[in-house]
Structure 1
Amino acid sequence: MATSVMDPLKGILLAYFMPEKCYDEFFLNFNFLDVPCLKIVLSKALGIGIILGSVMVKLPQVFKLIGAKSAEGLSFNSVLLELFAITGTMAYSIAHSFPFSAWGEALFLMLQTVAIGFLIQHYGGSTIRGLVFIVLYFSLVTLLVSPLTPLSVVTMMQASNMPAIIVGRLIQAGTNYRNGHTGQLSAISVFLLFAGSLARIFTSVQETGDSLMALTYVISSCCNGLIAAQVLYYWNCSPALKKKEE
């Protein structure tokens, strides 16, 4: 009876959380303090948690834009650079056959970031340009993840992620500073992105062993931390209040 109960559980654990040697260590040898296996389980659990969280991490930002019918305070150039970084990570991970738990959030962040880019154009009075942006972007993604794109190109994109992330976040930080507020920037999305990028440093080291991936998330965490700090600094400032003061 116990075996029949454990069989489906074992299948889930082996598929998503641990290799068979760790399952044996935990459930046959009852060694729950095996450090290498604990690191693997923690990394897998964090990775899955980040992916699940990424499904909704930017939805507060999307809903805030739709509710306000305005994209004031958001930089489209910053969104483009963020998309470049997300796309590079996704294409690089697929090309190297990294486990989905190591990069899966990039897929969901990509979709939500594209939606934000479209809304910035739409509320800026350029709906047609927003639609063209969507078509061109997904055409480019299809090409990048296809066998037609050389590995060297994908690797170069991943290496370019760091300056893209830095410049993109600095553009947004500069926009916030000039405006004296963070506009329609969602605090929830900003803090979730910051927390996710911090956790990804550990999971990328543990699951991929790729120093380029790990360094990308270190840089991303620093830049996301800058925007998070601005959100806290400008917490009581709003576009309406700023205009009233002027």
Structure 2
Amino acid sequence: MAAAALQGLLVPHLLPERCYDELFLRFNLLHVPCLKILVSKGLGIAIVAGSLMVKLPQVFKILGAKSAMGLSFHSILLELLALTGTMVYSVANGFPFSAWGEALFLMLQTVTIGFLTQHFGGRTAQGISFLVLYFALLCLLLSPLTPQAMVTLLQATNVPAIIISRLLQAATNYRNGHTGQLSAVTVFLLFGGSLARIFTSVQETGDPLMALTYVVSSLCNGVIAGQLLYYWQVPAGVEARKKRE
């Protein structure tokens, strides 16, 4: 009975039946192809589950400080473009949710951060307009009205969008001499998640465009993580910048 329950849990969500037989009935624990599937699916589900709270520390930090100092709104917009491209491209190609699901949850959290950046910058009306326009555009992109060629082009823009968004944030950090309200927890989780996604995207989708996106994302997230470590002891504010100068 327990074996049947385990099989119902694993097949087909984590493993195809042939791999369940290899690993749990024949105890062939060195069956590399099936181990890759198990690790990839497990990582994918863990990344999707973790993405539910990856950017919440950033949201709470902004709300607690009632300030979005140090966050670049243009960087947020470009990151949102990349997340939207991944999500729309994955849906259009029928990729499994475990291969891209975090893009949905990160998108919702990034939209929230974008609105808070505008709101605490004294531009609440613009923040509301941003929300309305974004979700209207998202509905259009997910509809059958959007041709496949445009969806592929949107995904292809992810690489430059990610690079530019991280460069903008890195430039903002350098210019300020601190990382402001940037959350270290969020940055390091994004860095680790993008590294893991390189493996899962190759294993689950076999799509080189998806894999390249996560390679570039890992490198760029690593730059921001490095800045956080460099500016770790520097408090946010103009006084800190003057002290460094």
With the shorter chain as reference, the TM-score category is over 0.9
Give the 3-state SS of the residue equivalent to 2:69 in structure 1: coil
Deviation, 1:148, is: 1.0
Q: Which residue of 2 aligns with 1:162?
A: 159
CA distance in 1, matches of 2:34, 2:97: 19
Deviations, residues 148-203 of structure 1 (Å, cap 9, x unaligned) = 11110010010010000000000000000000000000000000000000000000
Per the alignment, residue 61 of structure 2 pairs with: 64
Q: Describe the superposition over 1:90-119 as per-residue Cα deviations: whole angstroms up to 9, x where unpaired.
A: 000000000000000000000000000000
Report Cα offsets for 1:39-90 as digits up to 9, x if no partner: 0000000000100110000000000000000000000000000000000000
SS of residue matched to 2:132: helix
CA shift digits 1:189-234 (9 cap, x unpaired): 0000000000000000000000000000000000000000000000
* 1:15, distance to aligned residue in structure 2 (A): 3.2
2:36 to 35, 39, 43: 39
5+ long unaligned stretches in structure 1: none
1:143 aligned partner: 140
Q: Secondary structure at the match of 2:180?
A: coil
Output the amino acid matched with 2:109: Q
CA contact (8 A) 2:177 2:241 kept: no
Q: Which of the residues 70, 74, 77 maps onto 1:73?
A: 70
Q: 2:182 aligns with which of 162, 166, 185?
A: 185
Name the amino acid aligned to 2:240: K
Asked if 1:206 is matched to 2:203, the reply is yes
One-letter amino acid of the counterpart of residue 195, structure 1: G
Judge conservation of contact 2:51–2:105 (CA < 8 Å) in 1. Answer: yes
Distance 1:9 1:134 in 2: 43
Whether 2:226 is the aligned partner of 1:226: answer: no
Match of 2:7 in 1: 10
Size of the aligned set, in residue pairs, is 243
Output the amino acid matched with 2:108.
Answer: L
Deviation of 1:6 after TM superposition, in Å, equals 2.0
> What CA distance in whole angstroms lies between the structure 1 residues aligned with 2:222 and 2:84?
21
CA contact (8 A) 2:52 2:105 kept: yes
Q: Matches of residues 79-118 of structure 1 in structure 2 within 5 Å?
A: 79-118=76-115
Does residue 238 of the first structure (1) align with residue 235 of the second (2)? yes
Measure the CA separation in 1 of the matches of 2:29 and 2:218.
31
Deviates more, 1:123-132 or 1:233-242: 233-242
> Any conservation in 1 of the 2:99–2:205 contact (CA below 8 Å)?
yes
Deviation at 1:16, TM superposition (A): 2.2
In structure 2, distance between residues paired with 1:104 and 1:94? 10
Q: CA deviation at 1:19?
A: 0.7
Distance 1:110 1:75 in 2: 16
Q: How high is the TM-score relative to the length of structure 2?
A: 0.97
Query: Per-residue deviation at 1:243?
Result: 5.6
Say what the alpha-carbon RMSD is for the aligned residues. 1.1
